[in-house]
Amino acid sequence: MELDLTPFFLSLKLAFVSTFILFVLVLPLAFFMARVKFRHKPIFEAIISLPLVLPPSVLGFYLLLFFSPYNFVGKFIDEVFGIRLVFNFSGLVLASCIYSLPFMFSPLKAGFESLKPSLFEASYSLGHSRISTLFRVALPNIRSNLLSALVVSFAHTMGEFGVVLMIGGSVAGETKVASIAIYEAVEMLEYDKAQLYAGLMLALSFAVLFLLYFFNAKKGKNTL
């Protein structure tokens, strides 16, 4: 049996790209939400965390409607930027970023909230800006939270099915990721192929989580 690894590599590509984009966008957001108090903060936190409880198919359905070329937003993006966000890789990236947003946000925010205010006050008193404090003071002190955010977001994107299927469908080489390939193999009663795909996903997921726990355990020993 010849196994096509394209869906597996496409899943890896999607996970890497989405995790990088999420990190760049969510890092300052988590820092801001952890350090600032304002009246409507719970509303913003609820919106950010909504994908945690919203069924993937529901989120995927609304994203499909929202970014459809027949909708105002989707039509505008298609005509102005020449990007169609349904049934292509760009749409998968955007949908994955939205669905994995809380998995990047929550660990980072928790890490920033765990830092003592005196740490930031000392940094500001030495003339460091907020950005300098973020990268030179805050991030080095929440390495375990940072690693957890990156690893969980990556693994979550790798295994996503509902959102990916709704907005991306199954276009070979474009949106047919590993989870879709497993589903289709089972539908076609090709259990050997499904087992190989599932085995690869299981091995990768275990390796990623093992490295996370190994790093955290090693760090814990070093602090004793």
Check residue 125 and give its pLDDT. Answer: 86
Check residue 1 and give its pLDDT. Answer: 58
Check residue 215 and give its pLDDT. Answer: 80
Check residue 146 and give its pLDDT. Answer: 93
pLDDT in tens for each of the 224 residues of the chain? 567 889 999 999 999 999 999 999 999 999 999 988 888 899 999 999 999 998 888 999 999 988 888 888 888 888 888 888 888 898 999 999 999 999 999 999 999 999 988 888 888 888 888 888 888 888 889 988 999 999 999 988 988 888 999 999 888 889 999 999 999 999 999 988 899 889 989 998 888 888 888 887 776 655 44
Check residue 219 and give its pLDDT. Answer: 66
Check residue 100 and give its pLDDT. Answer: 94
Largest CA distance in the chain: 66
Check residue 224 and give its pLDDT. Answer: 42
